[in-house]
Amino acid sequence: MTVAGLTGDLQMHPPRLGRLDRNFPGFSIYFITCCTAERARTLANPVIHEAFRSFCQLAKQRQVFVGRYVLMPDHMHFFVDCGEEVPLSDWMKSSKNALSKNLRQLGHVAPHWQKGFFDHLVRSERSYEEKWQYTLENPVRAKLVAKAEDWPYQGEIEPLPFG
């Protein structure tokens, strides 16, 4: 909606930031969190784990590198470097679509995902470590395992610079 003003049309609401349409120059490692629709507990299983790993392996062909990750029953956390060629929002849409295909095959009815995702641009080794420690301990805090290393739906696809 616009309002006519003395200097032309003014927007009532500023446009959304286009940050996700490009990657931050010089830094491109993001910490991502995305959740299932209605927090459905559909992700922590061998089929989805393998589908996630396979999608991330294929992403390397487009210069997209996924580092450490943890799949929880109703959300996932991971680090990703999309470089400068692939917009993060496009890659996230593709990853959700790929996993949705597997979720449908397992009998889960769409929608599978909450709209959007949370992203945090990692700017330092300290920030990376803090995010990773939080992520690694997620299954323990959720009382799914006694020790983080016992959670089967975690790993690392590609070492990233801060890792």
- Contact predicate 35/75, CB 8 Å: yes
Which CATH number does the domain housing residue 96 bear? 3.30.70.1290
Task: Return the pLDDT at 2.
Answer: 37
Measure the CA–CA gap between 67 and 73, rounded to whole angstroms. Answer: 20
Find the DSSP H helices in 27-143.
Answer: 46-59, 88-105, 125-136, 138-141
111-162 residue pLDDT tens: 999 999 999 999 899 999 999 999 999 999 999 999 999 999 999 999 998 7
Average pLDDT over residues 32-40: 98
Task: Return the pLDDT at 83.
Answer: 82
> Residue 7 above 60 pLDDT?
no
What's the domain range around 146? 24-156
Q: Is residue 64 part of a domain?
A: yes
* Beta carbons within 8 Å of 6's beta carbon, 6+ residues apart: none
> Residue 62 above 80 pLDDT?
yes
- Tokens 């929002």 label which residue? 89
Task: Return the pLDDT at 163.
Answer: 67
Domain tally, the chain:
1
Q: Which of 22, 48, 29, 32 is nearest to 112 (CA)?
A: 48
Q: Is residue 47 part of a domain?
A: yes
> Residue 29 above 70 pLDDT?
yes
Q: Is residue 15 part of a domain?
A: no
Q: Is residue 96 part of a domain?
A: yes
Q: Is residue 17 part of a domain?
A: no
